[in-house]
Amino acid sequence: MKKILTGLNEPQQQAVQITEGPLLVLAGPGSGKTRVLTHRVAYLILEKKISPYNLFVTTFTNKAADEMKQRIQKLLGYKAFLPWMGTFHSLCVRVLRQQAPEIGYKKSFTIYDKQDSIAAIKRVLKDLNIDSQKFNPSAIANAISSAKSELVTAREYQNYSQGYFQKVVAQVYPRYEENLRKAQAFDFDDLLLKTVLLFQSRPEILAQYQQIFRYILVDEYQDTNTVQYMLVKLLASKYKNICVVGDDGQSIYGFRGADFRNILNFEKDFPAAKVVKLEQNYRSTKNILQAAQKVIENNLHRSRKNLWTQNPQGAPIGLFEAEDEIAESTFVAREISALANLTPLSSFAVLYRTNAQSRALEEVFLQENLPYRIIGALEFYKRKEIKDVLAYLRLIVNPEDAVSLERILNVPPRGIGPKTIESFRKGEKNDKITDFLQMMENLRQYAQKTNPADLIDYILVKSGYSDFLTQPDKGPPGQKPLRAGGPFTPEEGESRLENIRELKTVAKNCPDLASFLEKVSLVSDQDNYKKDSQVVSLMTLHNAKGLEFPVVFIVGMEEGLFPHSRSILEAVELEEERRLCYVGMTRAKQR
């Protein structure tokens, strides 16, 4: 036991040792929250002799879960199998894979990402003769996503929809759900919603999982939305051995449906709850911590924490007023260049409110020859060539996946256009489509006797996709080819092929195709974040959550930009802007 508690302060030890009943851990930024979670899991396993199989542990990202597993294994001294540690989405996928037949699905169902959902919605709009120019498919996807995160089904949405746009969404939502079912697919929000609905409608299945998940740990509880909150409440209702960790002051995902009141109301939901406050900050200087505290103290709806640190006072917080964004970016670039003689470039982060603000920074950084990278720009798994290869793989596993089929039916070009597809649907024979279906069957058979990485190579050759990238002018005689991303040079084609090789390295770590597809479908922006000593990190304040840097610049702190123009007249939204500022400031360690 001494080993597990070594290096923990008194409140941290309390948070580790209170294992029975509900526990709320209010953890300020830099207070050793992750350390507490890992030591708590190790304590439950080693001291309380709880089986790892009986622990349900949710983290904010898959990367956080992987790092936590490694730390726990170090504490335990052996490689423990922790099957129920991950994000809410990854844990719900496991439940749904096990219970798929109970809700009319095959265990090989596909998971649609945001782009797939939008593609499916475009198809519905076309079927309903609704003009996608007037009604943005992305906006409709967001409306359906918001409804699902609030536990609102298609039928319920139809009953409560108001206004012209919502009426259109009410038409699209049920047809979209019907198409998902036909395609044996869930969208990202379904993973949680369908799990909660399954538990609510089938008490015996809920009881089965309550028996498994006797101890529940939830990280970043302030960022839970309605459906996540309900999932936790259902699972914890029997044994009530639930520990939630978070900081209402760092709740910044209101636009995704997160409700910081979940953490403020925890003691009402669980009247017997004990509360432990982690108030000692190990990350920032006194100046940084005091300034951040002054910002968040302006919020009325918050828990009371008195953050403190034994770290030095540190340098005063710098303030620079610029005439415009170019002058601001130039100042930042030159400050970094001056400091870079003493510290690696990975020590610097530039944070901003919206993605559009990166343009001026990039322009100036290029002029100043300052290496940088943007976190959360065009994510790796959203690149066209990656989506194309994944569509082939998904169609191999799930032949009903209409979105994947539509994506790759004519990529590379096979002379299969909308008219060809329409005539085939009417029962007319078409050799080109027949050849495609035979190729897919060949790929499916090969997949059964090989690993995911080799299968990707096989797909590139058999489908002609490799030639398509490296020799983009090839195509059916007399037909203009569909290029991978518009006109591109051989160098660009090779770059796309290099991205696919990178995908193969991920595939090599997965035992089978199903687990590989599941892994890539659940990845988030921060899962791709890797420290690099040669570049400055540029990112939005939202993407900075959970990270830390010795030196942080926050740019664009002006009314209408940060705080955002949408929030200025709404007290609730203005409080979220303050929380976002608080998060940004507390990413900094030294200045």
Q: Which residues are annotated as a binding site for ATP?
A: 27-34
* Number of H-type helices and E-type strands within the chain: 26, 12
Q: What share of the chain is helix, strand, coil (3-state, %, to 5)?
A: 55, 10, 35
Query: Could you give the CA distance from residue 174 to residue 189 in angstroms, rounded to a whole number?
Result: 15
Instruction: Judge whether 504 and 457 are in contact, CB under 8 Å.
Output: yes
Q: For residue 522, give every residue at least 6 positions away whose Cβ sits within 8 Å of its Cβ, in sequence order, or none.
A: 62, 87, 89, 90, 93, 111
Is there a contact between 222 and 263 (Cβ–Cβ < 8 Å)? yes
Nearest-CA neighbor of 528 among 88, 112, 62?
62
Give whole-number Cα distances, 467 to 30, 140, 412, 473, 496, in Å: 50, 37, 9, 9, 12
Known binding-site residues equal 27-34
List the one residue out of 212, 333, 276 whose CA is nearest residue 11: 276
The contacts of residue 244 (CB under 8 Å, 6+ apart) are 23, 24, 25, 217, 218, 221, 232, 263, 266
Chain centroid, CA 417 distance in Å? 35
One-letter amino acid for residue 569 of the chain: L
Token pair listed for 91: 């844990």
Alpha-carbon gap, residue 136 to 579, rounded angstroms: 31
Angle, CA of 168, 173 and 175, to the nearest 5°:
105
- What lies within 8 Å, CB to CB, of 586 at 6+ separation is 29, 30, 250, 281, 283, 284, 288, 289, 292
Asked whether 126 and 422 are in contact (CB, 8 A), the reply is no
Sign, Cα dihedral of 415, 421, 424, 426: negative
Question: Using omega within 30 degrees of 0 as the cis cutoff, is the peptide bond preceding 412 cis?
Answer: yes
Distance CA 545, CA 550 (A): 15
Alpha carbons 543 and 379: distance in angstroms, whole number: 12
In this structure, the number of other CB atoms found within 10 A of the CB of residue 368 comes to 15
CA distance 278 to 305: 8
Q: Sign of dihedral through CA atoms 442, 443, 444, 449? A: positive
Whether 232 contacts 222, CB under 8 Å: no
The residues assigned a catalytic role are 33-34, 219-220, 250, 587
The separation between the first and the last C-alpha atoms of the chain, rounded to the nearest angstrom, is: 37
